[in-house]
């Protein structure tokens, strides 16, 4: 069964950095595009970033303003999100999601999420 | 990129049908047939229910269906069941090669 397991969340002070990881299993990771999506407490889903299967093509939501960096290591079946200069409004559960479906336009599998809390 | 517009809440009785709307623009919902819908129960990860406007992934009940007209997409749930009570989110691929979600709709089964 396809599994995505996020890690790396926790409590961080404003201005700090955190690196999230997403370990993938039970599918051929290196042929799938991936994304990060977050959900602030009590709020809706927010798409953050996309990375192609090879890692050559990357897109970000405008709201991130260059503070976040997505990457992947296909040899390790892992997806990453480096988050810098964190702000209180970045507090959220962060999900990694596989981009699937016939048109590679939807998120067909999601991890359980990892909570990031930005607070002093 | 502004969020897609969904009603904050909808409700229905068991056995009834409900429809959740999702309104976007010509740059997202209206641009492609790449609208998907997700169900999220409290404390759980989202689950894909509909993709490419009207396709159901394997394992999703036939009671869930999707449609689109112009820049407005809809999710219909027929034969409401207690387990359908959850938050529902629409999403669309955009002309900027990004994705956008709706604000979410809380479905209450009365």
How confident is the model over A39-58, as pLDDT tens digits?
Answer: 999 999 999 999 999 999 99
pLDDT average, residue stretch A97-104: 85
CA distance A36 to A30: 16
Burial (Cβ within 10 Å: 0-12, 13-18, ≥19) of residue B68:
buried
Radius of gyration of chain A (CA): 14
Look at residue B1 in the predicted model and tell me its pLDDT: 73
Tell me which chain B residues have a C-beta less than 8 angstroms from the C-beta of A65: none
Candidates B14, B89, B50; CA nearest to A37 is: B89
End-to-end CA distance of chain A: 39
B25 touches chain A (CB under 8 A): no
Using an 8 Å Cβ cutoff, are A3 and A26 in contact?
yes
pLDDT above 80 for A102: no
pLDDT average, residue stretch B31-36: 95
CB–CB contacts below 8 A, A to B: 74
Candidates A9, A1, A17, A4; CA nearest to A78 is: A4
Using an 8 Å Cβ cutoff, are A69 and A55 in contact?
no
Tell me which chain A residues have a C-beta less than 8 angstroms from the C-beta of B51: 101-103, 105-106, 108
Task: Kindly tell me the number of DSSP H helices and DSSP E strands found in chain A.
Answer: 0, 11
Whole-number average pLDDT of chain B:
96
Q: pLDDT, tens digit, for every residue of B59-94?
A: 999 999 999 999 999 999 999 999 999 999 999 999
pLDDT average, residue stretch A9-29: 97
Look at residue A36 in the predicted model and tell me its pLDDT: 98
pLDDT above 80 for B14: yes
Please judge whether B48 and A102 are an interchain contact, meaning their C-beta atoms are less than 8 angstroms apart. Answer: no
Considering CB atoms only, which of A46, A106, A111 is closest to B45? A111
SS3 A11: strand
Burial (Cβ within 10 Å: 0-12, 13-18, ≥19) of residue B26:
exposed
The C-alpha of A62 sits at a distance from chain B's nearest C-alpha, in angstroms, of 8
Give the CA distances from residue B15 to residues A30, B8, B22, B61, in Å, rounded to whole numbers and listed in that order. 43, 22, 23, 14
Look at residue B2 in the predicted model and tell me its pLDDT: 86
pLDDT average, residue stretch B12-27: 97
Candidates A13, A10, A16, A8; CA nearest to A119 is: A13
Using an 8 Å Cβ cutoff, are A35 and A49 in contact?
yes
Look at residue A2 in the predicted model and tell me its pLDDT: 96
Q: Is beta strand A92-100 parallel, antiparallel or unpaired with respect to A3-7?
A: unpaired
Considering CB atoms only, which of A44, A59, A106 is closest to B103? A44
Whole-number average pLDDT of chain A:
96
Tokens 């999220």: give the residue: B40
């Amino acid at each position: 069964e396809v599994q995505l397991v996020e890690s790396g969340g926790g409590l961080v002070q404003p201005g700090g950095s955190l690196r999230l990881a997403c370990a993938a299993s039970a599918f051929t990771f290196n042929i799938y595009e991936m994304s990060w999506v977050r959900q602030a407490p009590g709020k809706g889903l927010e798409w953050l970033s996309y990375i192609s299967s090879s890692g050559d093509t990357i897109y970000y939501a405008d709201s991130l303003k260059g503070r976040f960096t997505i990457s992947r290591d296909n040899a390790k079946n892992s997806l990453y999100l480096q988050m810098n200069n964190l702000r209180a409004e970045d507090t959220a559960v962060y999900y990694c999601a596989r981009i699937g479906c016939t048109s590679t336009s939807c998120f067909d599998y999601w991890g359980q999420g990892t909570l990031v809390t930005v607070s002093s | 990129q502004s969020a897609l517009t969904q009603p904050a809440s909808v409700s229905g009785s068991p056995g009834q049908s409900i429809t959740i709307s999702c309104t976007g623009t010509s740059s997202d919902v209206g641009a492609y047939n790449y609208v998907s819908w997700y169900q999220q129960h409290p404390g759980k990860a989202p689950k894909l229910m509909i993709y490419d406007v009207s396709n159901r992934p394997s394992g999703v009940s036939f009671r869930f269906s999707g449609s689109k007209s112009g820049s407005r997409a809809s999710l219909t749930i027929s034969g409401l069941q207690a387990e359908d009570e959850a938050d529902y989110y629409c999403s669309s691929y955009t002309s900027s090669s990004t994705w956008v979600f709706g604000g979410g709709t809380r479905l209450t089964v009365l």
